[in-house]
Structure 1
Amino acid sequence: MFKILLIEDDQSLFNEMKDRLGQWSHDVYGISDFSRVMNEYSEIEPELVIIDIQLPKFDGFHWCRMIREHSNVPIIFLSSRDHPTDMVMSMNLGADDFVQKPFHFDVLIAKIQAILRRVYNYNTEQPELKMWAGATIEQERNRVTNERGTVELTKNEMFILKQLVEKKSKIVTREELINRLWDDQRFISDNTLTVNINRLRKKLDEIGLGHLIETKVGQGYAAVEGESP
């Protein structure tokens, strides 16, 4: 059982999603005051957040930014708009997935279950600390530290970095990363992986490690060994 916060102002859709997710034993919470989303978020302390983009007061992007200032909780965006920029914006803000309305409930539930399995189970299979290129990777805290400082990663970014580092400079294909991240390649676009990789590199650049995530054209990516310059 997980606590899911659904930030959705369409009451009929909220009720239907709450009913469907309740069948999987999840507790679904809504928002009573859309000007106080962060207050209610703090009270609930959810383990997954689903946010509609179009909301009263402030849009979903605003609340995603606010949540990411305090937490790496997994976030799924919902949108009735079909602008490709919405998906890119969502991923750049640290969302874990993006679902276009109207959607099939079985697909949404499959995405939710895959994210919950990945986020709350995979760390138990690996040691908490791992060394790479002179940096310490703290998997359970989703952060990377070296002498230059510390960067916080999202769950997806940490998962990608973990897959690359474990291969010890060997190439990990795009298809392998997509399948491991989202369980089923049909449910994710190739562009989403590119956005996640670019965001990971940008964060690692802050501590001089971004250049060590190499793109192998036509093959995939590799986390090469070496100290930061």
Structure 2
Amino acid sequence: MFKIFIVEDDEMLVSLLSDFIQKYGYDTYAVKNFNLVMEEFKEAEPHLVLLDINLPTYDGYEWCRRIRTISNCPILFISARDSKMDQVMALEYGADDYLTKPFDHEIALAKIKSQIRRTYGSYASFQHQRQIEINGLQLDIDRLTLKWGMQKVELRHTEAKILDLLMNQIECVVSRDLLLEKIWDDEAFVDENTLNVYIRRVRSKLDQLKIVDAIQTVRGQGYRMLPIWSEQS
């Protein structure tokens, strides 16, 4: 049974959301002590986190950052803060998705199911080769790593999927629509800035390997990955 870890200080919302989620076969764990979120996270060992921004002690961004140091499990922000910057910040800190309050419980459930499928279910296993190597750049889809020479970086699931698509269509333009379709099966709920944020994060991972200019933006069309890696000086 998949366990959902809820970090939310609105007790009524926690109760209603937990009851609804549990009807569909999920287990839930609501944080009891907001000073000990990480301790409770480690004890619960959840498959997915629902995380508010405005919380006692530290805000959701800080807890997201801390969770990301020890886990790649999906994190879905649930917050009344609806600005573009809040959503971008959540993604930059490592969140997988963002849901603005008040929200329909059915949409929350759909997003939870989507993340669970992509991370642990049928979408977690790519349908083609699970390791790709182009000009020494090695993508290991199972282990969520990207390696070049002696350098290696860890990837998130969505970052790996983006690289998987780009590297399997090397030098070809991959449209934004195709990326959304293949990566987010509930793309109707995806903010238009989400893909931009993830592309930026993929480029950041390449930067950590000292690879620059590997992913080109083709204005009005999408993105293209070139097989000639330009190394940072």
**TM-score bucket (shorter structure):** over 0.9
Q: Which residue among 185, 194, 197 is the counterpart of 2:196?
A: 194
Distance 2:7 2:167 in 1: 35
Distance 1:147 1:75 in 2: 31
One-letter identity of the residue aligned with 2:30:
G
One-letter identity of the residue aligned with 1:130:
I
Aligned to 1:29: 29
CA RMSD of aligned residues (A): 1.5
One-letter identity of the residue aligned with 2:123:
Y
Distance 1:56 1:123 in 2: 34
TM-score normalized with structure 2 length? 0.93
Aligned to 1:176: 178
Deviation at 1:139, TM superposition (A): 1.1
Alignment map for 1:137-176 (pairs within 5 Å): 137-176=139-178
Aligned to 1:59: 59
With 55-64 and 146-155 compared, the bigger mean Cα shift is at: 146-155
With 152-161 and 121-130 compared, the bigger mean Cα shift is at: 121-130
Deviation at 1:136, TM superposition (A): 1.6
Q: Using a 3 Å threshold, how does the CA distance of structure 1 residues 126 and 43 change in structure 2: closer, same or farther?
A: farther
Could you tell me whether the CA contact under 8 Å between 1:123 and 1:139 is conserved in 2? no
Aligned to 1:109: 109
Aligned to 1:122: 123
Q: Secondary structure at the match of 2:213?
A: helix
Could you tell me whether the CA contact under 8 Å between 1:72 and 1:154 is conserved in 2? yes
Deviation at 1:228, TM superposition (A): 4.5
Deviations 1:144-171 (A, max 9, x none): 0111411111111111111211223211
Deviation at 1:6, TM superposition (A): 0.8
Alignment map for 1:12-91 (pairs within 5 Å): 12-91=12-91
Q: Secondary structure at the match of 1:4?
A: strand
One-letter identity of the residue aligned with 1:46:
P
TM-score normalized with structure 1 length? 0.94
Unaligned runs of 5+ in 2: none
Deviation at 1:221, TM superposition (A): 0.8
Distance 1:172 1:128 in 2: 19
Deviation at 1:119, TM superposition (A): 1.4
Distance 2:26 2:212 in 1: 38
Aligned to 2:137: 135
Deviation at 1:11, TM superposition (A): 1.0
With 162-171 and 124-133 compared, the bigger mean Cα shift is at: 124-133
Could you tell me whether the CA contact under 8 Å between 1:133 and 1:228 is conserved in 2? no
With 88-97 and 150-159 compared, the bigger mean Cα shift is at: 150-159
Percent identity over paired residues: 39
Deviation at 1:183, TM superposition (A): 1.5
With 126-135 and 136-145 compared, the bigger mean Cα shift is at: 126-135
Q: Secondary structure at the match of 1:24?
A: coil
Unaligned runs of 5+ in 1: none
Q: Number of aligned residue pairs: give it.
A: 229
Distance 2:174 2:78 in 1: 30
Distance 1:123 1:166 in 2: 17
